[in-house]
Amino acid sequence: MALAPGLRDPVHDAQRVFRAVMDALARPGRVQALTLTLSPPAPLTPELAALALTLADADAPLWLDAPLSASPEVAAFLRFHTGAPVVADPGQAAFALVSDPARCPDFAEFAQGTPAYPDRSATLVLALDRLGEDGRLVLEGPGIRGRAHLSAAPLPPDCAARLAANHARFPLGIDLLLAAPGRLAGLPRSTRVTEA
Amino acid sequence: MSDEGHRGDARLPGHETDITPSPEPHARTEDLPAEPAPEPGTGYNFAYLDEGTKRMIRRAILKAIAIPGYQVPFASREMPMPYGWGTGGVQVTAAILGRSDVLKVIDQGSDDTTNAVSIRAFFARTAGVAVTTRTAEATVIQTRHRIPERPLAEGQVLVYQVPIPEPLRFLEPRETETRQLHALAEYGLMHVKLYEDIARHGHIATTYAYPVEVAGRYVMDPSPTPKFDNPKMDDCPALQLFGAGREKRIYAVPPHTRVRSLDFEDHPFRVQHFAEPCALCAARGVYLDEVLLDDAGRRMFVCSDTDHCEERRAAGHRGEGA
C-alpha cells in the first residue's frame, strides 16, 4: 500500500496547527477550529495525524494506544513523516496518541516530569467524536475567565477523577489535547476540572 | 522589491481560510495549488528558523503555557544578532508567526528605536508578514521592557525579550539551587530581599524586574519592565510569552491568569506616579520618559509608549511642550 501524504504545505500547515494547539492550551474550554486535508491510515484520525506531524520528531517520541499500534500502516506513516521513535513504554513518550479514549491507560503511567523539571512530561492527544463549549465538565484556572464548560465524548469513565488527580500533582502531571473532527480543545494540568 | 510585493507573492488564494471550520475537510484539496508558494527573502525558511528548531521551541512554549511562570529550558539557537538584542524573543516570535499575523515590535515603548526597527525589518524580510506600529492592529507584539498603554485584547500575543529569566539569580547564583528553590516553592530569599529594601530605604526600592507570583505558584521575573507595568500582567486577556536567548529559557503567562506582585501587608505594592502629564499629549496615568532638552538642564517628560502618544495627539490632545 502506498504511503499516505503528509501535510500539504509543511511550513504553514504546521504553523496553523501549532497556533490552534497553543490557543487550545492557553484558553482551556475554548474549542479551536482545526480543518485539515490529511487522509492518514485508519484508525489514525486526521487531527491526531496533524498534531503528530506538527509536534513530534526525533527528539519527541510517540506512544500509540492498542488500536493504533495494531496497524503497521499507522506506525509506517508516523515514522516516515515525523522521524519520531515509536516507544512501547508510555513513560518514555513526549506525545501519546489515543484513538480509543475509553480505554486510555491511567494518566500516571505517562511521564509526569520531575519537581525540578516539570516540563519533562507527556502530552496526551485523545481522538474524540464530539467536543463542545457546553456540558458537564466545569473548568477553572489559568487561561479561563471565571469558568468554562466543556462537553467531550468519549472519555475514560472516571475522567473527572483522573483529571482531579492530575491537577493535584501540579506542577507535575500530563497535559491533554482533545481532538474531535475539525475541533480541538486543551486541558493543561493547571486546569481544575469538576463535574456539574 | 517592496515588502508589499513580498506579501502579495506569498499568499495563496483562499489559503488563509484553511483553519476555518468546513463541513467537508477533504473536499477542498483539488481547489488548492499543488505546490507551496515561494517564500519571501529567498534562501531562508519562513521566519528564518528551520522547521526542526521551530518544533523544539513550540514544544517548549506548550509546556510553558501548561505550567504558568515555570522556566522551560530550550535549545536556543545562534541568531543573526548578538545575545542581548532580543534573540529569545525573536526565536519565540519566529516559532509562532504565521502569514496572516500582523507584527509590532517595541523597545522601551518605542516603535522607532534601533532594536525595534531592525527586528521588525528582520521579520518583514524573512517572513513577509505585515508590520504595524499600532497596538490595536497587531496580532503579535514583541517587546523589550514595556507593556503597551492600550489594554491588550483577546487573540493578541505579547512576546517579551528577557535578559535574565531567573528572579532568584542575584540571590543564588547556582542554577541547581534555584531549580530546587522553585521545585519547593521556597521563595523566602526573595521576601528577605524586599524586606532589606524596606530596612535600608524605608520602602521597597525595586522599580523594574519586580518579582511576581503567577497563578499562586511560581515566582517569575517579568523581565526588566518598570513595575508600573506589573498590574497590566494580571488577568490580561492576551497570551504572554517570554524568551531568554542567552539563558535558554521560555516561560509564559496564559490569558486571565492571576499575576501578583510580591509585597507585605504593611508595605503593599505600589506603582510609580508622575506629577506632570505627558508634555506632548497631556496623558496622565501613563509611564513617562525623561528627555533632556539642552545643556542647562531643561527637560520634559513624554509618553514612553510612542504609539499611544501619537494616537492621542492625532485625536487632538495637546500637552504643554507640543
In chain B the domains, ranked by start, together with CATH numbers, are 39-168+206-261 (3.40.50.11310), 273-322 (no CATH)
pLDDT bucket at B40, cuts 50 / 70 / 90:
low
Please tell me which residue in B69, B88, B89, B243 is annotated as part of the active site: B69
The arithmetic mean of pLDDT across residues B217-221, rounded, is 98
**Alpha carbon of B89 to those of B55, B115, B128, B162: distances in Å?**
16, 12, 18, 7
Confidence of residue A196 (pLDDT cuts 50, 70, 90): confident
Is A40 an 8 Å CB contact of chain B? no
Q: Indicate the average pLDDT of chain A.
A: 95
Nearest chain B CA: its distance from A154 CA (Å): 21
The larger pLDDT score, comparing residue B116 to residue B40, is at: B116
Percent of chain B at pLDDT above 90?
84
Torsion B116-B117-B118-B119 (CA) sign: positive
Q: How far is B322 from chain A (nearest CA, A)?
A: 41
In the chain, the amino acid numbered A179 is: A
Res. B6: pLDDT tops 60: no
The answer to whether the Cβ–Cβ distance between B98 and A59 falls below 8 Å is no
CATH architecture of A10-191: 3-Layer(aba) Sandwich (3.40)
Fill in the amino acid letter for A122. A
8 A C-beta contact, residue A61 and residue A86? yes
For every residue of A106-157, DSSP letters joined together read PGGGS-B--SS-TTSB-EEEEE-SEEEEEEEEEEESTT-SS-EEEEEES--T
Tell me which H or E stretch contains B300. Answer: strand B299-303
Among candidates B121, B103, B130, B119, which has minimal Cα distance to B11? B130
Contact at 8 Å (CB) between A177 and A125?
Answer: yes
CA distances (Å), origin B194, targets B163, B170, B191, B220, B262: 21, 13, 5, 15, 8
Integer CA distances (angstroms), B171 to A144, B166, B244, in order? 34, 10, 19
Pairing of strands B259-261, B212-214: antiparallel
Q: Which tens digits make up the pLDDT trace of B143-185? A: 999 999 999 999 999 999 999 999 999 999 999 999 999 999 9
Task: For chain B, say whether A70 makes contact (Cβ under 8 Å).
Answer: no
Q: What pLDDT score was predicted for residue A1?
A: 59
CB contact under 8 A, B239 and A14: no
| Cβ contact B90:B142 at 8 Å | yes
In this predicted structure, what is the pLDDT of residue B42?
67
pLDDT digits (tens, 9 = 90+) for B92-139: 999 999 999 999 999 999 999 999 999 999 999 999 999 999 999 999
Do B67 and A190 count as a contact with CB atoms less than 8 A apart?
A: yes
Stretch B283-297: mean pLDDT:
94
pLDDT for position A192: 97
A65 and A106 Cβ atoms separated by less than 8 Å: no
Confidence (pLDDT) at A2 = 81
Cα B223 versus chain centre, distance: 9
Q: Does ipTM come in above 0.95?
A: yes
- Residue B236 bears catalytic tag: no
B27's grid cell: 473536499
Residue B31 carries which side chain, given as an amino acid letter? D
DSSP state of A42: T
According to the model, what pLDDT value does residue B13 have? 40
B285 backbone φψ class: left, alpha, beta (φ>0; ψ -120 to 50):
left
Q: What are phi and psi of B310, to 5 degrees?
A: -65, -40
Which residues in chain A are closer than 8 Å to B182, comparing Cβ atoms?
A: 116
Contacts of A20 in chain B (CB under 8 A): 19
Q: Average pLDDT, whole number, for chain B?
A: 89
Identify which of A22, A35, A142 has the shortest CB distance to residue B257.
A142
Measured in degrees and rounded to the nearest 5, phi and psi for residue B238 equal -90, 155
pLDDT beyond 70 at B8: no
Angle at which helix B114-126 crosses helix B87-96, to 10 degrees, equals: 30
Q: Please list every residue in chain B whose beta carbon sits closer than 8 Å to the beta carbon of residue A142.
A: 68, 215, 253-254, 256-258
B217 backbone φψ class: left, alpha, beta (φ>0; ψ -120 to 50):
alpha
Residue A105 has which C-alpha cell? 491507560
> What pLDDT shows up at residue B28?
41
Residue B4, pLDDT above cutoff 50: no
**Most distant CA pair in chain A: distance in Å?**
50
Q: Cβ of A171 and B70 within 8 Å?
A: yes
Do the Cβ atoms of B286 and B319 come closer than 8 Å?
no
Give the whole-angstrom CA distance, residue A114 versus residue A111. 9
Burial (CB count within 10 angstroms: exposed 0-12, middle 13-18, buried 19+), residue B281: buried
Residue B244 exposed, middle or buried by CB count within 10 Å (0-12, 13-18, 19+):
buried
Query: Is B69 among the residues known to form the active site?
Result: yes
Residue B98: which of A16, A34, A116 has the nearest Cβ?
A: A16
- Minimal CA separation from B234 to chain A, in Å: 11
Query: Which of A19, A37, A171 is opposite residue B67, by nearest beta carbon?
Result: A171
* Candidate list B88, B243, B303, B319, residue with the active-site label: B303
**pLDDT at position B41:** 56
What CA–CA distance (Å, rounded) separates B290 from A18?
42
Residue given cell 532638552 in the structure block: B293
User: Which chain B residues contact residue A176 at CB under 8 A?
Assistant: none
Q: Roughly how many angstroms between the first and final C-alpha of chain A, as a whole number? A: 47
Angstroms from A196 CA to nearest CA on chain B: 22
Amino acid at B68: P
**DSSP designation for A105:** P
- Of B51, B55, B96, B75, nearest to B241 by C-alpha is B96
**B7 pLDDT above the threshold of 70:** no
Q: Which of B28, B183, B258 is opposite residue A37, by nearest beta carbon?
A: B28
Share of chain A above pLDDT 90, in %: 94
Q: Chain A: residue nearest B178 by CA?
A: A116
